[in-house]
Structure 1
């Protein structure tokens, strides 16, 4: 979960869709400076404190993670070749067997938290003009299949991915994936599936793209097939209007359509989920509202990546959900659920503290009704009738603007959730994340 939906984040979403999952620093194969000269090595250090209490139990741990990423350039010529590689690892700074279960620290069969964990992998790539084909351990970022990047160690998925920007104003992409690693799993052949259905699939395929209609407006269309589980289609319209030097308006519309397919191993799926958000920025202040609706007797489901239990994908959430009200603790995507969000953001630059941003938002969901699901459905019994939930998130983030510690960021997130048992019940969560990106070369 952990979906970021501020106005600035909305524009970042468009950029993520327009951007290949691995960086290519030359804009075109004809600009390639070579395999070595265009190579880059970066290290992201992330210190992560997690504390959660409530109806889902108590979890608390503290970890230090390091993520080393190498991105080569492309060999010169009409067709360029390169490689990418990564090595990720984390160590436990604090944690106990009676507080395991977080998404930042795995635990062993005896119930004790791991002292350390890690994973490594790589991919090969080839580029012709502005079209790049990759195969290996990848981190796709599209609305129908997106690996998570917001916890301690990033998720990865194994397969191939094609990205092209040869058509002016458009970015096209396609992918085929067969396995992956979760946030706290280290086995690269973990299963893919649907997070809420808890059912695995042998492959996920997607195709789609984004087209910039103008400098202010873009449209995205994607389709994905979770073999023998679900076909999912997505469209997005994003519009950003500058009203003056200090005022702007951002509008964002997302629509998902999901249907069972193939052998329908998760049972019947017939869901339409949509959200609309509007954000008005005036100087350092941003005010936003968002409406979201899930029209269907099943929850709106999305990718699980990295399950280590054969055939079971429940709870291994990814970031493949681009709905406005997907928050820190709940996605507000239950059967027939409607939800509304109000949000306020403050940029402290105008008050003499550059790099400090504050955010507060509140979401209420109601009219949840999962009582019409058939007994042969993977979603049977997960939800009742006339259920509701609410969530409040507060966050503060400071990014060092200059000096030796430039780009060092500290983010504090405090969340409260309350609702019926199907939504998670009562939960209080505190997170503190300190990140430092270092460009080695």
Structure 2
């Protein structure tokens, strides 16, 4: 049980009608699985992870979905994924409800259908395409390209992502017309990873996504998402894995994002700096136990600025 005092509005615990956070919180789910050759069908409680829908696990319990999903790797170098979902449960809720997009306050909901594939083109190139549609809200196409280039003692990785989104059916969340193009270059050498990227949105709306979900973008960071209408964002990052200096399991990361020209009633800008230090025990009795420290500093013209310090304890258990 986690005490609820002072935790309302954080997305951590359910909130009562009087604004108080719940004193205790639990949630459970199960899925049936059938496997034929290299094709797996699951039905029940799911944790989808595709470019058009990624479940959110940034709180005590993850966001979950109800429905069916099939994943096939029968064709060499190709992974095909498809699914149909009709309910979801937010991270701070015990109720499964109809699926809605982020920011929608009406009483409608819809089913979410998705399909796509990832293809390995040789050793160093990966191609991806996915389609997703939230019934009577929006449809979305995604295309991605990743390439690794050995360069000197390290590897230069390029990652290009493109989303095209439009309203669908009855357009319960009003008109949607958005394109988002983003790219990132990173160079990894001797434990160091240096990164830089740029993202640009265009059209008559921000990027649509399922309420509470994680967005498949380089800008979906600790607090901000940087996906407002017409927003342009620059990103810089640095990470270090201490394994080359004899401390496997210890990692450090910091990044900075600056967004400009976004529209949310008026032109806006926002920025965020994130820092993370993490350690996972590599052997012995406590193998798999991890601790992670995170610091976020977020500033924005259209939302309240936030400073956040978080500590996470994790333990990985292999069930089968």
TM range (shorter): over 0.9
* 3-state SS of paired residue (1:303): coil
RMSD: 1.6
Query: Conserved in 2, the CA contact under 8 Å of 1:368 and 1:384?
Result: no
The answer on 1:130 being equivalent to 2:38 is: yes
- Alignment partner of 1:193 out of 100, 106, 111: 100
Give 1:245-256 correspondences, 5 Å limit. 246-256=153-163
Query: Conserved in 1, the CA contact under 8 Å of 2:13 and 2:93?
Result: no
**Structure 1 residue 126, shift from structure 2 partner:** 2.0
Query: Conserved in 2, the CA contact under 8 Å of 1:135 and 1:159?
Result: yes
- Alignment partner of 1:263 out of 166, 170, 175: 170
Q: Which has the higher contact order (CA 8 A, sep 6+)?
A: 1
Q: Which structure's residues are more often helix, by fraction? A: 1
Distance 1:242 1:266, change over 3 A: same
Give 1:3-82 correspondences, 5 Å limit. none
The aligned counterpart of 1:285 is 192
Q: Within 2, Cα distance between the matches of 1:118 and 1:148?
A: 17
Q: Within 1, Cα distance between the matches of 2:34 and 2:19?
A: 44
* 3-state SS of paired residue (1:192): coil
**Structure 1 residue 243, shift from structure 2 partner:** 2.8
- Runs of 4+ off more than 6 Å: none
List runs of 5+ in structure 2 lacking aligned partners: none
The aligned counterpart of 1:346 is 240
**TM-score, L = length of structure 2:** 0.95
**Structure 1 residue 107, shift from structure 2 partner:** 2.5
* 3-state SS of paired residue (2:25): strand
The answer on 1:166 being equivalent to 2:60 is: no
- Alignment partner of 1:300 out of 207, 222, 235: 207
Give 1:220-259 correspondences, 5 Å limit. 220-244=128-152, 246-259=153-166
The answer on 1:432 being equivalent to 2:288 is: no
**TM-score, L = length of structure 1:** 0.70
**Structure 1 residue 440, shift from structure 2 partner:** 5.4
The aligned counterpart of 1:318 is 213
The aligned counterpart of 2:124 is 216
Q: Deviation digits for residues 303-329 of structure 1, max 9, x if unmatched? A: 12xxxxxxxxxxxx112x211122111
The aligned counterpart of 1:14 is none
- Alignment partner of 1:335 out of 207, 223, 229: 229
* 3-state SS of paired residue (2:297): strand
**Structure 1 residue 425, shift from structure 2 partner:** 2.8
Give 1:68-107 correspondences, 5 Å limit. 91-92=1-2, 94-96=3-5, 98-107=6-15
Query: Conserved in 2, the CA contact under 8 Å of 1:291 and 1:325?
Result: no
* 3-state SS of paired residue (1:439): coil
Query: Conserved in 2, the CA contact under 8 Å of 1:348 and 1:356?
Result: yes
